[in-house]
């Protein structure tokens, strides 16, 4: 919103009292600042519209008015709106002269228009502009995401952004080397882009300590440009991670780690542990695993999931293998249930499997094998159970299976201990009787309704469905594993 927009709003009935240059009238108004302080400048931000009735300004010396206006222009404020009728019948001549001298737009507010009305009008207009800018920013991001999903080069994305902002744009890597630019005729200097005049720099969210920088030639306020470009920077970051070697070591390390996890006959536990250590993650820290389907249309929105992971965890390692995004993460910024809830409710939804933190390298290996199998069968975000039958089969009951089985059944054990219930014996008896309700009830001496309630409660605690063969088999395998002697 500009100062000139206020003058064209007939309902406000504002009148410009100074021969202000058009350049000043085109300045942006960022917010209103109602105040009656004689020196409000310590509380003002650049671009505010100062609203005052002049209460307490009962002086006639021109030097005092000059000092007041001069302080405002140092901020600088966008304009000064002075209400007559409350403390002054007309605009003070000293104020008019001072505003004329310092080229500060002075707006006379009539007695019939309260300052609150101006404040409300400005705030509503600014809110409407923010919403319109947000729509533009996400439309631009959506168009770039569509192009990226079709394999567009990074310069094509820059051309699309240039068409929207009409400012030369470029990308620098972490070492201040120019990666790409648009248009080609623009001249960009070597070195830090932030040191170049009239250049706005925005770090790209790549999960790196020294990320690439988006540089934009900006000859005015950078606030609108920053808001417009914020969503699309994530798409640029994702495209760069695919087309530019900015995190090649992490990609190769993740590939090596995954291949060793799934190669049960070729690689030992020590091989897997060594590959994990090469990723630079903590050996003793809990590790969260996520495997996402990036085939087809899902690739266009996978950047949101990548950014969400970096927002949720301090340490993240990501690789894209065979249309699958595999991520391991440590040190969540919030408790895991909170982080998981946000990831599972992301829009638009993308099929992925999230596994709660693994405590050992053996458990993580099992979780990865299970997630790679499970992601082929899900169509939405899915929180995997602690133990998966596919992982146990793949590992041939190797190390890690017993620990996972104990954690899987832990909710039942805790429930039985805290409530003197018998959920774990019920599950064991029900499976031993081939999931036959009549035989189970007969052995446990309980009513059929009681059995139904217990089975439903078991499903809730274990996060499995006992109506499926996979759910029953998982429970059966878990019971068998905890009954084995430790290796």
Q: pLDDT (tens digit, 0 to 9) for every residue of the chain, 487 residues total?
A: 889 898 888 999 999 898 887 788 888 888 999 999 988 999 888 889 999 999 988 888 999 999 999 999 999 999 999 999 888 999 999 999 999 999 999 999 999 999 999 999 999 998 998 898 889 899 999 999 888 888 677 788 899 999 988 889 988 876 576 777 888 788 877 667 767 777 888 888 877 666 778 889 876 667 788 888 989 988 888 877 655 443 445 677 888 899 988 877 678 889 999 999 988 888 889 999 999 998 877 765 665 677 678 778 888 888 878 888 899 999 998 999 999 998 998 766 789 999 999 999 989 998 998 899 889 888 899 999 887 766 665 564 555 677 788 889 999 999 988 776 689 999 999 999 999 999 999 999 999 999 999 999 999 999 999 999 989 988 988 887 777 544 3
Claim to verify: residue 211 and residue 320 sit in the same structural domain: no
CATH of the domain at 441: 1.10.10.2840
Claim to verify: residue 380 and residue 422 sit in the same structural domain: no
Say how many domains are in the chain.
4
Claim to verify: residue 31 and residue 97 sit in the same structural domain: yes
Claim to verify: residue 19 and residue 145 sit in the same structural domain: no
3-state SS assignment for residue 444: helix
Q: Which of 384, 412, 435 is the last residue of a domain?
A: 384
Indicate the pTM of the whole model. Answer: 0.42
β-bridge partners, 203: 213
Claim to verify: residue 237 and residue 346 sit in the same structural domain: no
Range of the domain at 436: 403-482
The HSE-up count of residue 154 (CA atoms within 13 Å, CB side) is 20
pLDDT of 223: 77
CATH of the domain at 222: 3.30.450.40
Instruction: Spell out where 178-300 has E strands.
Output: 178-182, 199-203, 213-217, 287-293
Answer yes or no: is 227 within a domain. Answer: yes
Claim to verify: residue 82 and residue 161 sit in the same structural domain: no
Claim to verify: residue 203 and residue 295 sit in the same structural domain: no
Answer yes or no: is 128 within a domain. Answer: no
pLDDT of 244: 44
Answer yes or no: is 155 within a domain. Answer: yes
Answer yes or no: is 127 within a domain. Answer: no
Claim to verify: residue 209 and residue 95 sit in the same structural domain: no
Claim to verify: residue 190 and residue 259 sit in the same structural domain: no
pLDDT of 386: 85
8 Å CB contact between 14 and 108: yes
Q: Which of 189, 209, 243 is the last residue of a domain?
A: 243
Answer yes or no: is 184 within a domain. Answer: yes
CATH of the domain at 99: 3.40.1390.20
Q: Which of 209, 243, 277 is the last residue of a domain?
A: 243
Claim to verify: residue 239 and residue 257 sit in the same structural domain: no
Edge-to-edge strands, sheet with 106-109: 15-16, 106-109, 79-83, 48-52, 31-34
Give the DSSP H or E segment for 95: helix 93-102
Answer yes or no: is 358 within a domain. Answer: yes
CATH of the domain at 310: 3.30.70
Claim to verify: residue 207 and residue 310 sit in the same structural domain: no
Of 91, 79, 81, 25, give the one whose Cα is nearest residue 52.
81
Cα separation, 361 vs 273, in Å, equals 6
**Residue 72 token pair:** 């405002």
Claim to verify: residue 11 and residue 100 sit in the same structural domain: yes
Answer yes or no: is 54 within a domain. Answer: yes
Answer yes or no: is 150 within a domain. Answer: yes
């Amino acid at each position: 919103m500009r100062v000139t927009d206020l003058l064209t709003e007939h309902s406000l009935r504002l009148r410009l009292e100074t021969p202000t240059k058009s350049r000043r009238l085109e300045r942006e108004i960022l917010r209103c600042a109602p105040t009656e302080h004689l020196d409000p400048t310590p509380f003002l931000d650049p671009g505010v519209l100062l609203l005052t009735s002049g209460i307490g300004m009962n002086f006639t010396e021109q030097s005092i008015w000059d000092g007041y206006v001069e302080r405002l222009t140092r901020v600088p404020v966008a304009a000064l709106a002075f209400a007559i009728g409350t403390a002054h019948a007309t605009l003070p001549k000293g104020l008019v002269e001072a505003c004329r001298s310092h080229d500060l737009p002075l707006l006379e507010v009539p007695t019939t228009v309260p300052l609150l009305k101006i404040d409300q009008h400005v705030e509503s207009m600014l809110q409407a502009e923010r919403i319109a800018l947000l729509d533009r920013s996400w439309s631009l991001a959506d168009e770039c995401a569509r192009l990226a999903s079709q394999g567009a080069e990074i310069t094509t994305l820059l051309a699309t952004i240039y068409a929207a902002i009409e400012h030369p744009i470029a990308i620098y890597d972490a070492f201040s080397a120019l990666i790409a630019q648009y248009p080609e005729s623009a001249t960009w200097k070597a070195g830090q882009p932030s040191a170049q005049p009239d250049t706005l720099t925005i770090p790209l969210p790549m999960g790196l300590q020294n990320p690439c920088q988006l540089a934009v030639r900006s000859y005015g306020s950078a606030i609108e440009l920053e808001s417009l470009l914020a969503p699309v920077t994530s798409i640029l970051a994702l495209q760069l991670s695919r087309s530019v070697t900015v995190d090649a070591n992490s990609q190769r390390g993740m590939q090596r780690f995954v291949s060793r996890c799934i190669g049960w006959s070729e690689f030992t536990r020590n091989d897997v542990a060594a590959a994990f250590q090469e990723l630079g993650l903590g050996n003793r820290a809990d590790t969260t695993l996520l495997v996402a389907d990036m085939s087809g249309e899902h690739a266009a929105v996978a950047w949101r999931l990548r950014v969400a992971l970096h927002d949720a965890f301090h340490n993240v390692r990501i690789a894209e293998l065979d249309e699958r995004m595999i991520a391991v993460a440590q040190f969540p910024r919030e408790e895991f249930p909170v982080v998981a809830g946000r990831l599972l409710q992301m829009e638009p939804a993308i099929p992925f499997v999230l596994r709660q933190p693994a405590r050992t390298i053996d458990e993580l290996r099992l979780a990865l094998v299970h997630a790679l199998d499970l992601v082929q069968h899900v169509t939405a975000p899915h929180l995997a159970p602690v133990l998966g039958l596919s992982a146990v089969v793949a590992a041939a009951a190797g190390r890690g299976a017993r620990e996972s089985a104990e954690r899987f059944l832990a909710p039942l054990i805790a429930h039985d201990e805290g409530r003197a219930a018998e959920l774990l014996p019920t599950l064991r008896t029900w499976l031993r009787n081939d999931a036959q309700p009549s035989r189970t009830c007969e052995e446990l001496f309980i009513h059929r309704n009681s059995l139904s309630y217990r089975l439903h409660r078991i499903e809730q605690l274990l996060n499995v469905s006992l109506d499926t063969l996979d759910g029953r088999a998982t429970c059966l395998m878990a019971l068998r594993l905890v009954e084995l002697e430790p290796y």
